[in-house]
Amino acid sequence: MDRRARILVLYASQTGNAEDVAERIGREAARRAYLPQVMSMDRYDPRQLASENAVIFVASTTGQGDKPDTMKRFWKFLLNSSLSKRWLENVNYAVFGLGDSGYQKFNFVALKLDRRLADLGAKSIVYRGLGDDQHRSGYEGALDPWLTSLWSAVRGIYGREEASEPANDTAWQLDPPKYKIVYHQPHISSVAEGYSTVTAFSSLRLLSTADASFLQIKNMRLTDTSHEQDVRHLEFDLGGSGLEYAPGDVLGVFPAQSEEAVSRFMERCGLDEPALVSVEPANAVEGYQNVAPVTLRTLVEAVMDVSSASPRRYFFEVMMHFAEAEHEKERLQYFATSEGRDDLYNYNQRERRTVTEVLEDFPSVRLPLEWLVQLVPRLRPRYFSISSSLKAHPNEIHLTMAVVQWTTPFKRKRQGLCSTWLAQLDSKTGVVPVWVTKGILKLPRPSVPLILVGPGTGCAPFRAFIEERAAIAASQPVAPILFFFGCRYSAKDFLYKEQWQAFAQDRGVLSQENGGGFFVAFSRDQPRKIYVQHRIREQSKLVYKLIEDGAAIFVSGSADKMPADVAQAFDEIAAEMGDPRAAPKKLEALGRYVVEVWT
C-alpha cells in the first residue's frame, strides 16, 4: 500500500459503536481516493506505529473511564517507559472518542490516548472529537462536524488541491460488501446447528464464544408483584464443570431470540429457512478458517440481532440503493445525510426500532443476504455482576437481575432481550450459554475494612463480597463492613432483606459488634425522599473511622445521579473531618474508591 496516501484507522470498541465510526471513516477515505486500512487495536502491531504517516484513532469509554478489552494490549505498549518523546514525531494523528456525559469520566479513554500520543511526539492534525450519547443525535452529533474538519486537515497533509468532499459520482456509490455467501447442497453432513454456531462463526469474528451452558435451577422474583420493577434472583448449576469465579467477577450471557421475531425477519427478507450457507470474507483475511455450513435460520438466530438492536446509519444508506419506490429512496437518502441526522435519531435510535421494523417501514427494499449479514447488528452478549460467593454456594452461580422494560417517546412498549428471556426460562429445564470474566470490583484481603454502597440491583456484587467475608469469618478474623443499601419501599423492593439482617445480627460480618453496620434508605416510604448518600452522611464518624483504618470503598448501581451524589457525600465527610486524603479522588488514586455503574 502506498504510504503517501495511506490512512490507518485504529478502533477500540466494546459495543460496536467505535467500530461503526471507524468503518465510516474508512469508507469516506476510499471515496476521497485515499488508501484506508481499518483495524481493531488488538489486531495491529503497535511496534509499527512509528512508520505510519496518518493514523486516525477511534476509542470508546466504558463504565467509569474504562478501556475496551480490545485496547488493553495496545495501551500497555504505549505506556512503555522505553519509548522516547520523539518516537512518533513523523506520525500525524487524530482522535475521536465515544462516551456518555452522564458518567463522571466522560470520554476518559480518548483524552488519555490523545495526551499519550502527543507525549510521544505525534502531531495532532485536528481538534479532538468527543461523541456524546447524551446529545440529541447521539455520538453522531459531534462526529459529522469533526469529519468535515478531519478531511480538510488530511488534504493538507498530502498536499491535495481538490475539494475536501468526494465527487458527486462517488458520494453515493455503493461500496462492495465485506462478506460473500456460499450456498451448499442439503446432503452436507457437517452442519453446525444451535449454539454450536456460536463457535463456528467465532473465527469470522462475528461472535464471542461461550465457555459452557449451565442449567438454570432457580428463578425467583424478589420484588413484590405490586411493584412496577420485576427483579429476579437466578441460580445456575455448574455441575461438574469445575468453573471457578471470584467475588466481583462478571457473568457473560448469550441470549436467545424468540422464534416469532426470527420468523418475522426471515419472512420480510424472503429468506429460505432450511437453506445451507456459510459466510466468508469477500477479500482474503489472514488466519481465516472455513466454517461448517449452517441453515439460514440458525445464522439469523445465533448471529443477527433482529429482536432488540437498532440498525446504524449506514444501514439506511445501503437500503437506499435497493429501494424500488422513489419516495422511499428519497427518505432513506435524507436519513443518510447530516441534515437528516436528527430526524433519523428520533425515528431510529430513540424509538429503538429493530431491523425488522425498519424494513417493514420501507417495503420496496430487498436487501441481499450478504448485506444483511454485514449490516444487521450482531447478537451481543449481556453482562451481569455475579451475586454469589463460591465459598457460600459451591457449584452455583447466582445473578440479581432487573427485567428491563420501558416506553419509547412514541409510547411503544419495549423489553430487554436478555433479561426477558432469562425471566421466562423454566427453572428446571432452561439451559443458558455463559462465561466468566473479571470485573472492575475486586474484593481486598480479609484484613481490609469495606464500605459498600449498592442501591437496587447495585447490591449484586456486594452480596458476593459479604457472603465471601462471612465464609472466611468462620475460620479467621475479618475486618468490619459498612453496607449502604437503597430502594423505594420497605415492603416492595427490599432485596435480600432477611439475608442482610441476618448478617447484621449475632456478631455477623455486618454487625455493629464487629465494627460494621447495615443502613437502608427508603426513598418513597415517607414524604421526604431519603437516598443512600443521606445515610452515608448520617454515619459520617463511623465512615471516617473506617477510612482512617484503610477501608476500601465500592459503589455500584445506576449511572444516573447516584455516583456523583455518593461521591459528594464522601467529599463532605472528608471536608468535615479536615482530611483531604479521605476525599474520593485521593482514595481513587490509591485504588481505594472503585465505582461500577451502568445505564
Q: Angle 142-147-153 (CA atoms, 0-180°, nearest 5)?
A: 130
Torsion of CA 343, 349, 351, 354, to 10 degrees: 120
Looking at residues 115-142, what average pLDDT do you find? 93
Using the Cα atoms of residue 14, residue 15, residue 20 and residue 21 in order, give the sign of their dihedral: negative
CA gap 253, 12 in Å, rounded: 22
Q: What are phi and psi of 347, to 5 degrees?
A: -70, -40
- What pLDDT does 86 receive? 96
Residue 117 clears pLDDT 80, i.e. is over it: yes
Considering the domain boundaries, does residue 103 fall inside one? yes
Closest CA to 127 of 111, 150, 106: 150
| pLDDT given for residue 138 in this prediction | 85
Whether 492 and 454 share a structural domain = yes
Q: Is 14 left (phi over 0), alpha (psi -120 to 50) or beta?
A: alpha
Please count the CA atoms within 13 angstroms of the CA of 63 that sit on its side-chain side. 17
Span 530-553, mean pLDDT?
97
pLDDT digits (tens, 9 = 90+) for 466-505: 999 999 999 999 999 999 999 999 999 999 999 999 999 9
Are 356 and 249 members of one domain? Answer: no
Buried b (16+ CB within 10 A) or exposed e, 132-147: bbebebbbbbbbeebb
Contact between 453 and 518 under an 8 Å Cβ cutoff? The reply is no
Sign of CA dihedral 285, 34, 15, 344: negative
Provide the pLDDT for residue 5. 85
| Within a domain: 444 | no
Cell numbers of 577, please? 473531618
pLDDT reading at 183 higher than 70: yes
Residue 414 CB neighbours (<10 A): 16
Binding residues: 13-18, 60-63, 133, 352, 382-385, 416-419, 457, 523-524, 529-533, 565, 598
Together in a domain, 430 and 572: no
Q: Alpha helix locations (H) across 158-295?
A: 168-171, 196-200, 259-269
Provide DSSP, 411-478.
--EEE-HHHHHHHHS-TTT-EEEEEEE--S-----TTS-EEEE--GGGGHHHHHHHHHHHHHHTTS--
Q: Checking phi first, is residue 562 left (phi over 0); if not, alpha (psi -120 to 50) or beta?
A: alpha
Instruction: Look at strands 6-12 and 450-453 and give their pairing.
Output: unpaired
| pLDDT above 80: residue 399 | yes
Distance (Å, whole) CA 15 – CA 599: 13
Residue 592 lies in a domain: yes
Together in a domain, 486 and 583: yes
Q: What is the CATH number of the domain that holds 239?
A: 2.40.30.10
Do 217 and 131 fall within a single domain?
no
pLDDT over threshold 70, residue 412? yes
Residue 402 clears pLDDT 50, i.e. is over it: yes
The answer to whether residue 95 sits within a structural domain is yes
pLDDT 10s digits, 250-293 = 999 999 999 999 999 999 999 988 889 999 888 765 555 556 78
In the annotated binding site for FAD, the residues are: 352, 382-385, 416-419, 598
CA angle 569, 575, 580 (to 5 degrees): 105
Residue 171: inside a domain: no
pLDDT in tens, 78-88: 999 999 999 99
Quick check: 370 and 283 in contact, CB under 8 A?
no
State how beta strands 92-99 and 123-124 pair.
parallel
DSSP 318-345: HHHHT--SHHHHHHHHHHTSSTTHHHHH
pLDDT digits 0-9 by tens, 3-22: 558 999 999 998 889 999 99
CA distance 345 to 339: 11
* Binding positions for NADP(+): 457, 523-524, 529-533, 565
**Whether residue 228 sits in one domain with residue 283:** no
CATH number at residue 82: 3.40.50.360
Chain-centre distance of CA 22, in angstroms?
A: 17
Nearest partner of 50 among 105, 121, 108, 147, judged by Cα: 121
pLDDT at 223: 98
Going from the C-alpha of 470 to that of each of 154, 249, 503, 549, the distances in angstroms are: 60, 18, 8, 20
Domain final residue, candidates 351, 375, 399: 375
Q: Enter the C-alpha cell of residue 313.
A: 446509519
The CATH number for 541's domain is 3.40.50.80
One domain for residues 153 and 200: no
Average pLDDT in the 99-105 region?
Answer: 81
| Domain contains 338 | yes
How far is the CA of 353 from the CAs of 239, 310, 349, 371, in angstroms?
Answer: 39, 5, 7, 19
The reply to whether 426 and 493 lie within a common domain is no
Q: What is the mean pLDDT of residues 223-243?
A: 93
Task: Dump pLDDT digits (tens) for 282-321.
Answer: 876 555 555 678 899 999 999 999 999 999 999 999 999 9
In-domain check, residue 174: no
Grid cell in block for residue 457:
440491583
Question: Domain boundary residue among 343, 359, 375?
Answer: 375
Question: In this structure, are 75 and 34 located in the same domain?
Answer: yes
**What is the count of structural domains for the chain?**
4
Is the same domain home to 46 and 109? yes
Look at residue 212 and tell me whether its pLDDT is greater than 80. no
The residue that leads in pLDDT, 243 or 399, is: 399
Nearest to 158 by CA among 3, 22, 31: 3
Q: What is the CATH number of the domain that holds 304?
A: 1.20.990.10
94: which strand partners? 56
Let me know whether 80 and 111 are in one domain.
yes
Q: Taking a C-beta distance cutoff of 8 angstroms, is the pair 141, 132 a contact?
A: yes
Report H helices in 489-561. Answer: 497-503, 532-538, 540-548
Using one digit for the tens of pLDDT, what is the confidence trace for 428-469? 788 898 999 988 899 999 999 999 999 999 999 999 999 999
Q: Give the structural domain span for 25.
A: 3-166
- Show binding-site residues for FMN: 13-18, 60-63, 133
Q: How far apart are CA 46 and CA 26, in angstroms?
A: 19
Using one digit for the tens of pLDDT, what is the confidence trace for 352-368? 999 999 999 999 999 99
Which of 485, 595, 488 lies closest to 536 in space, CA to CA? 485
196 and 303 in a single domain? The answer is: yes
- Most distant CA pair in the chain, distance: 80
Does the residue 23 lie in any domain?
A: yes
